[in-house]
Chains A and B, each alone.
Chain A
Amino acid sequence: MEISAFLLFWAAIFTSNILLTNFLGMCSYLSVSKEVESSMGLGIAVSFVLVFTTALNWLAYHYLLVPFHIEYLQYIVFIIVIAAFVQLLELLIERFAPALYYSLGIFLPLITVNCAIFGVSLFMVIRNYNFLQSIAYGFGSGLGWLLAILMLAGLRGKLREKMVPAGLRGTGISLIITGIMALAFVGFSGIAPIQ
């Protein structure tokens, strides 16, 4: 409980990156990272949704589930909150910012099944964060995920014309790149432990 929200924010980006150390959000990370622009769009959408769903789930957990002693229903409640929020966001963006909808809209349904969103809410409960810490952790995780997918998309763009062994093409080489990135991020660990 003694970690400040500010420290937690930076720690979530670098020392315990949601993707490179906790392996969350791998599916969309591997499938969307072919282009830098779409990676950017998805990353921004993920960060935005993470901040709000973490806040909503924190409120739902502490004011709904804990008072009634039904903590075991947290999975169902969290999933419903995330799905409902994404749906609402989609409607709002479509109504008020059609231009944004066309560049970001296709990613929104993908986000509901992105395990990073759900995982951050679960980590928040397990590590007992307070409200401010949860928001900082959610936002930091989103930016960390954005950073990772942007790096992979840039590197994959460079690799497109290169000779890669046939069996490694696509997912295999992406995983190796991610492994090297994760090695680099291990260098940050120890600066600010958050567990």
Chain B
Amino acid sequence: MTRKEIFINSAFTDNAVWKQILGICSSLAVTNLMMNSLIMGLGVTFALALSCLTVSIIREYTPRSVRMIAQTLIMAAYVIMVDIMLKAFLPDVSKQLGPYVGLIITNCILMGRLEAFASKNPPLDSVIDGIGAGLGYTMVLLVISFVRELFGFGTLFGFKIFGSWWTNWSIMVMAPSAFFLLALLIWFVNNKYYKVV
């Protein structure tokens, strides 16, 4: 596979959320505001790309028996970096994301990509695969949060879109709408992209 194919594959064809059904927790929890989704997506992309790089570099020196714990600790180190950066530069977003930043560690997308790709492939390919998977995840988050923020608050990235005539749909702010929207997205992608009939 060329590097471009690797990227397309991990961002779209094998998209972590709609195809592999991984990382559902955070894609539902942080999508009530677009800003939170964007920051979360970039945080995951950062942690994922760097963990892929590290795991790929040490892949020949890691014994199979301690592979899992080594990968978990590498991920945890990068997630702590993301957490400290958010607390320093974006304290408001950090407070709203709450435990979900730490939960990047148990986000199955990371473990999935490390196990399936980075532990078998050279560093540069692994980083491209990690960035692709991270951006594919960010894209899904932004699509869901676009609908939820627009109808739930009448805003996008905090800017008012609808005027004072708009009544906020409180269902969009609450948990159930996230489940429905993700189901609709998966349905749409299955029909249009994978042509499941």
Contact assessment for B176 and A24 in the assembled complex, using a CB-CB cutoff below 8 Å: no
Contact assessment for B72 and A79 in the assembled complex, using a CB-CB cutoff below 8 Å: yes
Q: A23-B29, A27-B108, A179-B183 are in contact. Are A118 and B22 (CB under 8 A)?
A: no
Q: A115-B25, A122-B102 are in contact. Are A167 and B187 (CB under 8 A)?
A: yes
**CA–CA, A1 and B102, complex, Å:** 23
Contact assessment for A24 and B103 in the assembled complex, using a CB-CB cutoff below 8 Å: yes
| B167 CB within 8 Å of chain A | no
**CA–CA, A119 and B197, complex, Å:** 38
**CA–CA, A26 and B108, complex, Å:** 10
- Chain B residues 43 to 100 lying within 8 A of chain A, measured CB to CB, are 69, 72-73, 76-77, 79-80, 83-84, 98-99
- Which of A113, A123, A173, A175 is the one whose CB lies under 8 Å from B99? A123
Q: Note all chain B residues with C-beta closer than 8 A to A122.
A: 98-99, 102-103
- Which of A24, A72, A179, A180 is the one whose CB lies under 8 Å from B83? A72
Contact assessment for A75 and B80 in the assembled complex, using a CB-CB cutoff below 8 Å: yes
Interface of B is mostly: helix
Contact assessment for A119 and B72 in the assembled complex, using a CB-CB cutoff below 8 Å: no
| B186 CB within 8 Å of chain A | yes
Separation in Å of the A105 CB from the closest CB of chain B? 17
Contact assessment for B76 and A114 in the assembled complex, using a CB-CB cutoff below 8 Å: no
Contact assessment for B175 and A20 in the assembled complex, using a CB-CB cutoff below 8 Å: yes
Closest to A182 in B: B176
| B161 CB within 8 Å of chain A | no
Q: Note all chain B residues with C-beta closer than 8 A to A22.
A: 29
Contact assessment for B80 and A26 in the assembled complex, using a CB-CB cutoff below 8 Å: no
Contact assessment for A23 and B178 in the assembled complex, using a CB-CB cutoff below 8 Å: yes
Contact assessment for A118 and B102 in the assembled complex, using a CB-CB cutoff below 8 Å: yes
Closest to A73 in B: B80
- Which of A21, A123, A167, A168 is the one whose CB lies under 8 Å from B175? A21
Contact assessment for A30 and B21 in the assembled complex, using a CB-CB cutoff below 8 Å: yes
Q: A23-B178, A183-B176 are in contact. Are A168 and B98 (CB under 8 A)?
A: no
Contact assessment for A114 and B106 in the assembled complex, using a CB-CB cutoff below 8 Å: yes
Contact assessment for B28 and A171 in the assembled complex, using a CB-CB cutoff below 8 Å: no
Q: A118-B105, A180-B176 are in contact. Are A24 and B76 (CB under 8 A)?
A: no
Closest to B81 in A: A72
**CA–CA, A26 and B21, complex, Å:** 9
Q: Note all chain B residues with C-beta closer than 8 A to A165.
A: 187
Separation in Å of the B82 CB from the closest CB of chain A? 10
Q: Mark A68-87, 1 if CB is under 8 A from B, else 0.
A: 00001111100100010000
* Contacts from A to B (Cβ < 8 Å): 20-27, 30-31, 72-76, 79, 83, 113-115, 118-119, 122-123, 126, 165-168, 171-173, 175-176, 178-180, 182-183, 186
23 A-B pairs (CB sep. < 8 Å): A22-B29, A23-B24, A25-B25, A26-B28, A72-B80, A73-B80, A74-B102, A75-B105, A79-B72, A79-B105, A113-B106, A113-B111, A115-B25, A119-B103, A119-B106, A126-B99, A165-B187, A171-B21, A173-B183, A175-B183, A179-B176, A180-B176, A186-B174
List 10 extra interface pairs beyond A24-B103, A27-B21, CB under 8 A.
A21-B175, A23-B25, A23-B29, A24-B29, A76-B80, A79-B73, A119-B103, A123-B99, A182-B174, A182-B176
9 nearest A-B pairs in the assembled complex, by CB-CB distance: A179-B179, A167-B190, A122-B99, A175-B183, A26-B24, A115-B106, A23-B28, A182-B176, A23-B29
